[in-house]
C-alpha cells in the first residue's frame, strides 16, 4: 500500500479524455517519475492530486485519507506540496518574504491572526527561511523582488518554498526545465540529499531524462491519459514502445 493511491481516475475536458482510468501507487520514501509525451495528462493528474481539478470519477487517497473534495490548502496541510510547471511564486514580494510564508503556514496552520507581532521578531521562522535559501544557493538574492528573478531562479525559489514545508509528498512538475545544466545537477543533488535526510516521497514529472534516471526509483509512462507501463528505470529505458513513443534518441 503506497502513501499515494490513485484509483480509476477519469477527467474529461469537453470532448477530450485527458485522463482515462488512471491507477497509480506511489510507495513511501521513493522517487516516482511520471513521464510521457506532451499533452499526455501528466500535469492534469497532478492537478487532481492537489485539488486544482476534481476528477470526474475515481479516488485519490493520501496516507489512507481521500483528498477529493478538499480545498488546495487543506490538501497542502495534509502534507502535499507542489512545484508548478510555470512558476507560481509571490512576484510582488521579496525572495525572503516568499520563503517566510510557507514557514508560517507550516508552523501555524491555515489561518492565524498574528497581526501585532513583527516578522523580524519570529526568529525561528527567519532562521528557517534563511537556511533553506542557503541550501538552494540563493542567499545572495534574498532581497530581490521575486518577479525580477530569471526563470531558472524562479523555479529554484519555488522548490525551496515547497521543501521548506517539509512535505511528506512533494510533487514536482518539470522542476529543472529551463535550468542551467549546473543548476540542474545541483537540484538533483539537493533532492537526493533531502531524501536521505528526511522521510519524503517525491513524484516528479520531467522531460529531462538525465534527471529522471538519476533520481527515479520507479517510472510510470503516461500516454494519452492512460498509464502505458510502470517499471524500474532500467526496464523503461529498454522498453521499445517507450523509446518509440517518447524517448526518441535521448535514450
Ligand X SMILES: Nc1ncnc2c1ncn2[C@@H]1O[C@H](COP(=O)(O)OP(=O)(O)OP(=O)(O)O)[C@@H](O)[C@H]1O
Binding site for ligand X (CB under 6 A): 13, 16, 18, 36, 38-44, 85, 148-152, 178
For residue 198, the partner it binds in Mg ion, ligand X, other proteins, none, with Cβ less than 5 to 8 A by kind, is: none
Q: What is the DSSP letter of 147?
A: G
Spatial CA neighbour of 220 closest among 83, 15, 13, 46: 46
43 vs 76 by CB, closer to Mg ion: 43
Confirm or reject binding of residue 43 to Mg ion (CB under 5 A).
Answer: yes
Backbone φ and ψ of 25, nearest 5°: -130, 125
Calculate helix-pair angle for 181-197, 151-164, nearest 10 degrees: 0
CA-to-CA dists, residue 105 to 123, 146, 164, 166, 203, angstroms? 15, 19, 10, 11, 22
91 binds, among Mg ion, ligand X, other proteins, none (CB under 5 to 8 A by kind): other proteins
Residue among 62, 72, 56 at smallest CA distance from 19: 56
Helix (H, G, I), strand (E, B) or coil at 175: coil
d(CA 202, CA 161): 15
CA dihedral (248, 152, 204, 139) positive or negative: positive
Least distance in Å: CB of 144 to ligand X? 7
CA 135 to chain centre: 18
Q: Which of the choices ligand X, other proteins, Mg ion, none does residue 31 contact, using the CB cut-off of 5 to 8 A by kind?
A: none
Of 202 and 221, nearer to ligand X (C-beta) is 221
Shortest spacing between CB 162 and other proteins, in angstroms = 8
| CB of 72 vs other proteins, minimal distance in Å | 4
Instruction: Work out how close the CB of 194 gets to other proteins at its nearest, in angstroms, rounded to a whole number.
Output: 18
| Min CB(152)–ligand X separation in Å | 3
- Taking CB positions, which residue lies at the least distance from Mg ion? 43
Binding site partner of 142, from Mg ion, other proteins, ligand X, none, Cβ cut-off 5-8 A by kind: none
128 versus 155: smaller Cβ distance to ligand X: 155
Amino acid at each position: 500500500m503506497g502513501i499515494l493511491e490513485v484509483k480509476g481516475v477519469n477527467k474529461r475536458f469537453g470532448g477530450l479524455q485527458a485522463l482515462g482510468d488512471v491507477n497509480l501507487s506511489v510507495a513511501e520514501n521513493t522517487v516516482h517519475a511520471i513521464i510521457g509525451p506532451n499533452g499526455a495528462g501528466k500535469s492534469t493528474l497532478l492537478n487532481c492530486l492537489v485539488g486544482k481539478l476534481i476528477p470526474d470519477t475515481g479516488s485519490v487517497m493520501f496516507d489512507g485519507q481521500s483528498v477529493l473534495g478538499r480545498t488546495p490548502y487543506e490538501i497542502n496541510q495534509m502534507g502535499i506540496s507542489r512545484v508548478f510547471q510555470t512558476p507560481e511564486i509571490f512576484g510582488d514580494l521579496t525572495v525572503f518574504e516568499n520563503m517566510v510564508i510557507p514557514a508560517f503556514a507550516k508552523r501555524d496552520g491555515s489561518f492565524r491572526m498574528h497581526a501585532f507581532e513583527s516578522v523580524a521578531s519570529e526568529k525561528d521562522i527567519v532562521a528557517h527561511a534563511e537556511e533553506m535559501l542557503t541550501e538552494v544557493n540563493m542567499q545572495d538574492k534574498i532581497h530581490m523582488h521575486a518577479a525580477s528573478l530569471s526563470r531558472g531562479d524562479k523555479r529554484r525559489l519555488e522548490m525551496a518554498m515547497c521543501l521548506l514545508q517539509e512535505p511528506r509528498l512533494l510533487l514536482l512538475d518539470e522542476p529543472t526545465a529551463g535550468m542551467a545544466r549546473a543548476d540542474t545537477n545541483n537540484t538533483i543533488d539537493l533532492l537526493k540529499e533531502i531524501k536521505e535526510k528526511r522521510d519524503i516521497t517525491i513524484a516528479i514529472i520531467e522531460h529531462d531524462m538525465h534527471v529522471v534516471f538519476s533520481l527515479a526509483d520507479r517510472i510510470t509512462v503516461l500516454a494519452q491519459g492512460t498509464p502505458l507501463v510502470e517499471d524500474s528505470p532500467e526496464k523503461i529505458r529498454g522498453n521499445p514502445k517507450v523509446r518509440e513513443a517518447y524517448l526518441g534518441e535521448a535514450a
